[in-house]
Chains A and B, each alone.
Chain A
Amino acid sequence: MHSFWLRANAILTFSITILAFMCAMASVSDCFNSASPSAQIQITNINWFQKQRNGNEEVSLTMNITADLQSLFTWNTKQVFVFVAAEYRTPKNAVNQVSLWDAIIPAKEQAKFRVQTVNKYRFINQGSNLRGKDLNLTLHWHVMPKAGMMFADKLVIPGYRLPKEYR
């Protein structure tokens, strides 16, 4: 501490150490937030449901997504990434997850939303066994904090069934 630059260096290192500790505490404080998000998804229409030439199936559907994710936001949340995945079992693959729609929510005010959309990404199944298939639409979310740990969780909404015939 005997010279100007030694004192400047001591302040810099100590203040950055404390800053790292503050960020860690901010991340810890996120653990005390009990989130209770809610979501409903309705499939309002199956636009078309076809078999491709190579034997795979493709579905186009219109969804109505209503969600309230405001409780995910804390003071340490930068943004939330949400996506809707269709999940089902086939004899070939025990777990199929097809992403249908996604969004980035940058602020708490935009976390309560209602979207009507055609699937943003193509819903293609490996094989041709989707006719009359039961499937879940799952809302996944990843909470990206300003500092610290990232959280991910999901809400499974079961009870959808694809039509028995191609259209």
Chain B
Amino acid sequence: MEDKKQRIRELLTDALPSVNLDSDFLFSELDSIGVVTVTVILSNEYGIELDSSDITPKNFMNLDSIASMVENKLEGK
């Protein structure tokens, strides 16, 4: 889980340099481009499918919740 979180941090730091990834209000920090960027990056990196039902404030609350969402998706594959 920690490895995954670290990898996601690396990917998002590069793609969204103006976003504070340590925030616990990450969904609020992101605009629609940011949300799409996170979604596309995670889909490409982990080969998972994310749709509108996954893009929720709860799933995008912070890096932990994003990593957890990815874990759940991978387990369900």
Partners in one complex: no
